Structure 1
Amino acid sequence: MKWMSIQMSPPRFLVLAVLAFVILGTCLLKLPFAATTPITWVDALFTTTSAFTLTGLGVVDTGTTFTLFGQLVLLGLIEISGLGIMSFAVLVFIMLGKKIGLQNRILLQQSLNQTSVGGIVRLARSIFVFAIVTQGIAFLVLCLTWVPQYGWQKGMYFSFFHTISAFNNAGFSVWPDNLMRHAGNPVVNLVITSLIIIGGLGFTVVLEVWRKRSFSKLSLHSKLMLTATLAVNVLATLIIFGLEFHGKAVAHLGTFDQWMAAYFQAITTRTAGFNTVDMGLLTEPTLLFMVLLMFIGAGSASTGGGIKLTTFLVMLFGVVKYLREEEDIVLFRKSIKDSTIVKALAIALVSLVFVCVTVLALSVIEHAPVLTCLVEIVSAFGTVGLTRNFSPGMSDAGKLLVTFMMFFGKVGPLTLMFTLAKKGQTRIKYPAEDVLTG
């Protein structure tokens, strides 16, 4: 793997790798046979970035604008990004019988957000097998629903496309109304949301559950992800249903279908970007609540974005620790380091600053309402893909700004900061002094 032995930090390598794939995808989508009608370079860049960052925002209709080749390019970008660039590279070299050196294991560790290099190659192999099996099962179930409805050829392709998009939390659909036409189909709703949840938990959590099969034996991270995901999904379903009960977005649905729509939006909002109701008809309180969910995002080492659910929890319990004047955060009989709390606060603060600045910039550029811009920017940052039908009408400047936020959300706030910043080293120590706060 000599081509990967360039002397650079793992964060910088991963940022450059994402840029390389975005450039490659943009060039492929600009090929004459990739689209039914010519698209601009900005639209190609926006769509490629949206696919590779697993966002799902679109400035053109995927099903009618792109040919089969163009759609397969998008699926390839989605699958490679979802499983991880380094995971794919390692698997290729394993099949070729090549040895994987320490430096490349460190890169793989960084891309999978792991704390050590021990067993990292085995983890990559397990992720690949798990992904293939899970997507295969979901594909077959969706085929049982869509083949009778659309025929063999279209039914199988629709199942294949949406399985990959849902498992990787990408939110791309071949239909202009996304999944609104299937709002009342329980099989489609359950399969898609199950794929979203599995992808959003993080591969390390799912594999640990499979191997240990006992909640008490799981790591603290896995316990937090499982309990918090369940709690947030249930709470979000209840809140969205309460806010939208008999609202315009769900007025055409029966009570059961309204519950199903609330559940679907609760699951998809934190990371995936699919929708079974018209986002433009949702009330402002619902949109603000969904912005919060999008900002929090999914789990670490998952296919989702945002600041990550565990980051939010560490911050939340850090505040509780301060208010109670406790020495440590203790969860499931495990304590969390103060350095982890500081890292969580850094991620949240950097993310919040970027979001606020870009919302203001987009509002000025597009002369659009702040709430509409807030939904668009947080959706891009969280790599979610939900929109109030605002993306297609943006100017090139607005599209480039949203493209940057998708890239920012994909690589992560701290990864980008570490890439741009230089380490400061000093041997001088100064006396400490308190600063008044609060």
Structure 2
Amino acid sequence: MFRRIKPIEHREEVDFPVDLKKLGYFINSEDQIRQIEMPSEGFDYHVHRVERVNEKRREAIDECVRRVLDTRFVEEGLTKHFLPPGSTPGTDPCVPILISNDIDDVEKVLVIIGNTHDDLGVWSVREMEGPSINHGSMISTIRSAKKEKFGLLILNCGQNVYSPEMGRAVTYRSWKAATKPSPHIDEVKNRVPGHENVQKHVESVLEELKGRLIGNDGQKKKKKKIYFLTYGWGCWGLVKYLDVNFAEWKSSIEALIAAESTHTAADVTSPDLRHFLTTRARAYIVHSDPPGTFIPDKRFICQTFSTAQIYSETIIPNSWHDVMLPWFKRVEEDPEGCNPVMLVDWESVERLKEGWGGYTGSTKPKDGDDPNKWAFDDDESEEDHDREAKLEEGGKAFGEEGLEDMVDLRDAEQAAKANKALQENERPGTMMDNGLKEMGVGKAAPSA
């Protein structure tokens, strides 16, 4: 039995002005948020012993940054559109997305789908604090995409809580800061119809914009080439949507990039989507190896590569310009050869198969197979039909039965690294001793 000795202290809420200068900060010439009194120092969260005060203060600074970004999005030719259609911002529950003003006129469209905890148009708050606001937000991504003549559609998976008091959709972190501690989310009052979660949001946006992207029956529009750049749960929502609706989209979609996605082989039952992922999609994950190093990871039904990042939120800001965008260009130049099967360490694959749950059988190529042919031909084999039959019977999804390791040898440095790894009887992408030391981990014990 316990008895309260001292009553709970009820503190009054502290409000902070939405003004960087009054909060003691400014944006320097390098586009970084810095303290006025100590210009070399960035944002400091822990300034008060009461956590609630720190939380409220951080939210005030975040709101300042949102307003800066809103101005920059307009300057880049993007406009906020509120869904569901016909909603009145400030009055009706609605969620904003960003659409470039030229989306109806361009031939290529980049559809960006972020994660479930970031504000609209933000990749990483960590990267916004340094190197810069533009780098951590989607501004840098937008500018480089515009140079390649992309139109843009930016979804909003993060601002998924509607606040009647604030009259807008916000992230859960903003919701906590704006309400009392440990707030309760009412699944009716605090959700936007059709956008209650990431899967419904992706479905609602793509269905609403489908006519402008791929055209509707009876509409004669110039065919657009659609590229998807996704992160985290945003990619999962897209895969779930395409698994059902891929027939409508497959003639328009050119390529997909998934950064630290949460989708797996079990989420894909459509043979057409499966073929698209193996031939026109790439996954980029947190890994210590140099950016673009092939990683034998079969979870995503597509080639997987390292990024030399330790935080998932920093993958796209630091890999987009030098790794991801060049691959989009490669897809445009050679759509059938952008993901070729080139080099496979069959012995390593055999050793790893026990960790690839559900895999049985040999991974070795059959006699007569062309070692230089592209991965996953259009021609269906008896094995393909058997696999599809298993799916219909509730069997294991493709990818749980084994996926070939693929390395693109057109990247000379990557090829050299892969060959060296094979000579040393190690699979490409494994963390070497130096990488372990850099991450503060001692040498791993040899496996039994």
When the two structures are superposed, what TM-score results if normalisation uses the length of structure 2?
0.28
Q: Which has the higher strand share?
A: 2
Higher relative contact order (CA 8 A, sep 6+): 1
Question: Which structure has the larger Rg over C-alpha atoms?
Answer: 2
More helix by share: 1
- TM-score, normalised via structure 1 length: 0.29
